[in-house]
Chain A
Amino acid sequence: MTPGPVGGPVRVLVADDDPDIRQLVELAVSRAGLELVASVGTGTAALAAIREHRPSLAVLDVAMPGLTGLEVCAAVRADPAVSGMRLLLLSASVHGEAMEAGGAAGADDYLPKPFRVKELAERIGGAVGVR
């Protein structure tokens, strides 16, 4: 397991309502050498898991039931306990405004679907400073 910046393993949360995509992202996390702490299918569950596990990075789908990925981003940034974590959004939307909305909600990076697993693994590693 790759150590994080403070010595412990880098912990990652994955949230996507599509189980197939979620499994792909989990594989990318694994290939990046990071620890998967939770993998959930709704925004509400993602926010709860973030507050519970306090991961270094969350990979969030934008369109999820319950809270959207954008709303989870905004809630994280508004919560001092977890506001410093890294957030990476995935979305099947290719609108420029979708990316802008992600940035405005506090996301650190944005990757449109479909993506190459290899590229996602690199982005995940890059987001937490692990290459």
Chain B
Amino acid sequence: MTETRTLKLKNKLGMHARSAAAFVKVALQFKAKIYIERDGQTVNGDSILDILTLGCPYGGLLTIKAEGVDASMAIEELEKLIENKFGED
């Protein structure tokens, strides 16, 4: 099962250390493989260093892909996290 969703980063600081950590923590809870794509570059959603070095600023668009049995649940949770601005602001 594969799920894809494109989202906009709404927290003021974009994907910084704290938000990246929050993302990875959620991604690690699922069996599905998580990927993040931005500007044609794809990285692993469970790698904090990959996510950080991807450099996603405020307002940037991200495409999240999940592959695996719980893909849709994983996408739901990650979307929630991003929509809630990682609990910041």
Decide whether A and B assemble into one complex: no
